[in-house]
Structure 1
Amino acid sequence: MPVDLPIASSTDAPPVPPRVIAWLGLLMLVMLAGAAATLFTWPKSEPTGSTWFWTKLLVLPALGFFVAFGLRLFYFEQESDRVRAEEETLKGDQAKARLFGSEPLAVLECRYLCALENGRAANETAPTHSILSAQVPHSGGTAVRHTALKLGEARTILERYRACFLEILDGVGAAICALPRDVPFNVCLALPANPKTPEEDDLLATWQDCWRESGLRPVKASRLAAEQGLMPLDEWLDVRGGAALEKVTLYVSAQLHVTPPHNSAEAAVALLLGWAPLLERRGLKPLAMLHRPIEAEPGALDDAILEALLWGRSVSTEIGDLWQAGLAADDKPAILQSASALSLAVSKARDLSGIHDIDITLGHAGIAAGWLAAAFAIERVAQAHTPQLIVHRTGSLQLAVVNPVARPTADTTEKAHTP
């Protein structure tokens, strides 16, 4: 659910102080009117040197004026106090919303399987570097331009998923075993929907078999909807407290193919994430901080980028790397245009070397595309120690920021907006 910054409930113009010139002019008019009224109404038989004459001539008009001026000044001060109180309340509410919206998830472990080895993606996903090539699929047939995982002697799609699950679990197993037993822990799987073979429909059972075989603590995995992308992280961060927030979750996404589509990629990703304050209390050291993902509304990409930066505690000049995956044809020029309009550092490079198009490098990784972009960004953070921006499409266009664990707090005041 999007986090909205509170906005001012009142659209009234701020109170205007009394205008000195106008009130001096009014004083002169009141005094002249009072004097004229006194002179015209004063009985001719009464002496004009009496106290009452001068009181009516000067004191009463002045008194009436100053009463009116005092009421006007009192109104201005009261309205000013009310506006100041509303502004202070609004600033406090906005500060709370920023603090809540920018709470990150700590990355305890990050592993991926693709045609690039772990640790190499951060260096080799340059815009002009592609390892896509035409090759015969594991199932045989005509050569297709794609990248595939090397999973030993596994042949059937279910055998390949099994080998994939075991390999990815081997990579994150040590980090899972290091978790204190009393820390709440669960597993979420992002796997292909609408399986093309009956065997693929058994992926959840295959995962559970691999989990038991790995000897890890007993836990039943749940399956995420295919169209969610990274947005389950947003749902997690929406929780206000309790075990649903203070936990560690293993997110695993895998995409293999029986018959690979053109320009596709096979990939698997495992991210072990935890609520940052919980990990800090338990002495667990994270690798990076993954901030709240957001969904871009159609035609509002600039606002979406600014919102992602706001929740990512970053400013545009810090974003030297942008990881994009699974994008539609018209997404890429729109992202480049927005990056330039918002003065992202990545748009200033002469060769745009900071824009990493995973689809060009590896191919479209299907349901794992967004998670793979996150994994590459996390890996890059360890080298560059600068914020990384992720943009991918899984149904909707989604954006998120990955930050180093320790970095100066960026001043986002000027860049903050009202999402």
Structure 2
Amino acid sequence: MPIRLDKIPPLALRPQRPRFLLWLGLLLLFCLLGAGGTLLFGDKTLLQRPSDFWRMALSIPILVWCVLGFGRVLLHVGQQGAADGWDEAREVDMIRKIRQGRRSQQVLAVSLQTALRQPEDEPATQLEVLLSGTMALKSQASRLDGATLRHSCLSCDADENPEAILLSIWAQTLANLAPTLAQLPDDQPLALLLDTDIGLPDKQWRRVWRQAWRESGIRQCIEPVDGSGLAALDQWLDQRIGDRALLLVLAVQFAPQQPEGTAEAAVGLLFGNRLTQTTLAPIAYIHRPEQERKPTPDDLLYAARQALDWVPLESTSIERVWRVGIDAQRAVDFASVLSEVPMPVNKTGLCNLDAMLGHPGCASPWLAIAAGTQAIARGVGPQFIFSGGGAAAGLWGAVLMPVSALLK
């Protein structure tokens, strides 16, 4: 559930204090009315007894004034107490929401495969190519129908069996994660999030997936979880932050139905809860992502600022910005946000994965998290991720932090 601090009700309106001059004027008015009433309706012999006259003329007005004044004081005290109670409850709610909003996940293991990685390459080689801005987006044969389209793919061999390619992709992803999982006990629960867009029939690709898992040698049992994209991570932070289970995300875009301008990518990420996971040393921390509510510059600006506030972190501390899964029509909004929130936008500080690879679809946020985590492992500082997953979904902002920065 999104944490909206801007929707927290305002402070209570404070009651106005009783005005001294007004009540002094009322006292004088009551005394005049009392004296006038006594002259009109009192015994005429009272004028010959001044002490009795003034006692009768003033006692009742002063008594009425005291009763009204006491009632006004009680009303003020009650309103003040109600306002204090509202403000205290508001502060407790705000503190709870801030603590909930500032939850984060450990990034424990990463696997990343894009068109810029050759089978024999080390992960560091792919990262170097990514950070250098090398283009993998080019015109080549589509995997499904052979049409020549501009896209990037994980294997350039159009004649190769798609099932065999997909099996090798998943096998490589799991092989990259297996050494980390091998350090955990066999009874360590794993929650598996499969975030996929695969242009093969479900029955076909799921059979390939099960084969890859069986052959991976990973001992832990998995429990599937529903969801997709950063919304699934946001939900995990809300509902399962105290779980012993680790969240294993496998995101694949492979042979999409409309490959024009897209990128094939395979990502594996292992997340741990900071409250329960102490066996593995984290590589980085991914803080609560924030999604824009409407596709407008103002909403995207709010999301970016709120994502930074969850750390909390000054925008000038960000060393690299990742842009991925953002359609061309939102480029103006993206540029507007960067002008309002100062971040590094030079050639070395901004990495446009869409321009290099194409649109990674469902793998977009996970691709940026994986690449940013690998950059942090090499000593780069805080990262900011702008990501989307399609034209209909709102864009997200998220901060990826080095472990050392949170220990200071």
Q: 1-10 or 206-215, which moves further after superposition? A: 1-10
Q: Which residue of 2 aligns with 1:322?
A: 321
Q: Does structure 1 residue 204 correspond to structure 2 residue 199?
A: no
Q: Does structure 1 residue 369 correspond to structure 2 residue 364?
A: yes
Q: Superposition pairs for residues 372-411 of structure 1, below 5 Å?
A: 372-382=367-377, 383-394=379-390, 395-399=392-396, 400-407=398-405
- The 1:241/1:252 distance shift into structure 2, 3 A limit, reads closer
**Distance across 2 between alignment mates of 1:120 and 1:76:** 71
Which one of the candidate residues 342, 346, 366 is aligned to 1:345?
A: 342
Q: Superposition pairs for residues 301-312 of structure 1, below 5 Å?
A: 301-312=300-311
Q: Provide structure 2 residue ranges, at least 5 long, that are not aligned to the other structure.
A: 118-122
Q: 230-239 or 1-10, which moves further after superposition? A: 1-10
Q: 126-135 or 156-165, which moves further after superposition? A: 126-135
Given residue 32 of structure 1, which amino acid in structure 2 is its aligned partner?
A: L
Q: Tell me how far 1:307 sits from its aligned partner.
A: 4.2
Whether the 8 Å CA contact 2:191–2:223 is kept in 1: the answer is yes
Q: Which residue of 1 aligns with 2:263?
A: 265
Q: Tell me how far 1:350 sits from its aligned partner.
A: 6.7
Q: Tell me how far 1:125 sits from its aligned partner.
A: 5.1
Q: Which residue of 1 aligns with 2:120?
A: none
Whether the 8 Å CA contact 1:326–1:370 is kept in 2: the answer is yes
Q: 158-167 or 297-306, which moves further after superposition? A: 297-306
**Distance across 2 between alignment mates of 1:153 and 1:179:** 39
Given residue 246 of structure 2, which amino acid in structure 1 is its aligned partner?
A: V
Q: Does structure 1 residue 288 correspond to structure 2 residue 293?
A: no
Name the SS of the counterpart of 2:252 in structure 1.
strand
**Distance across 1 between alignment mates of 2:281 and 2:367:** 22
Whether the 8 Å CA contact 1:231–1:294 is kept in 2: the answer is no
Q: Tell me how far 1:268 sits from its aligned partner.
A: 0.9
**Distance across 2 between alignment mates of 1:127 and 1:73:** 72
TM-score (norm 2): 0.82
Q: Which residue of 2 aligns with 1:66?
A: 66
Measured against aligned partners, the alpha-carbon deviations of 1:61-118 in whole angstroms (never above 9, x if no partner) come to: 3333233222112211111111111110121122112222332221111120113453
Given residue 24 of structure 1, which amino acid in structure 2 is its aligned partner?
A: L
Q: Which residue of 1 aligns with 2:331?
A: 332
Q: Provide structure 1 residue ranges, at least 5 long, that are not aligned to the other structure.
A: 411-419
Q: Superposition pairs for residues 7-406 of structure 1, below 5 Å?
A: 13-116=13-116, 118-119=123-124, 130-135=135-140, 144-150=149-155, 155-193=160-198, 195=199, 197-198=200-201, 201-220=203-222, 222=224, 228-239=228-239, 245-257=243-255, 261-279=259-277, 282-298=278-294, 299=296, 300-314=299-313, 316-319=315-318, 321-340=320-339, 343-346=340-343, 349=344, 351=346, 354-382=349-377, 383-394=379-390, 395-399=392-396, 400-406=398-404
Name the SS of the counterpart of 1:216 in structure 2.
coil
Q: Tell me how far 1:396 sits from its aligned partner.
A: 0.8
- Ranked by relative contact order (alpha carbons within 8 Å, sequence separation 6 or more), the top structure is 1
**Distance across 1 between alignment mates of 2:93 and 2:46:** 68
Given residue 290 of structure 1, which amino acid in structure 2 is its aligned partner?
A: I
Name the SS of the counterpart of 1:161 in structure 2.
helix
- The 1:356/1:49 distance shift into structure 2, 3 A limit, reads farther
Q: Tell me how far 1:352 sits from its aligned partner.
A: 7.5
Q: Tell me how far 1:264 sits from its aligned partner.
A: 2.6
Q: Tell me how far 1:232 sits from its aligned partner.
A: 1.8
Whether the 8 Å CA contact 2:362–2:389 is kept in 1: the answer is no
- The 1:32/1:322 distance shift into structure 2, 3 A limit, reads farther
Measured against aligned partners, the alpha-carbon deviations of 1:276-334 in whole angstroms (never above 9, x if no partner) come to: 2111xx34221122233344322433443344345454455545543222222222211
**Distance across 1 between alignment mates of 2:7 and 2:226:** 34
- The 1:370/1:240 distance shift into structure 2, 3 A limit, reads closer
Given residue 286 of structure 1, which amino acid in structure 2 is its aligned partner?
A: P
**Distance across 2 between alignment mates of 1:323 and 1:229:** 16
**Distance across 1 between alignment mates of 2:213 and 2:254:** 19
TM-score (norm 1): 0.80
- The 1:283/1:142 distance shift into structure 2, 3 A limit, reads closer
- The 1:123/1:208 distance shift into structure 2, 3 A limit, reads same
Name the SS of the counterpart of 2:71 in structure 1.
helix
What is the alpha-carbon root mean square deviation over aligned residues?
3.6
- The 1:100/1:265 distance shift into structure 2, 3 A limit, reads same
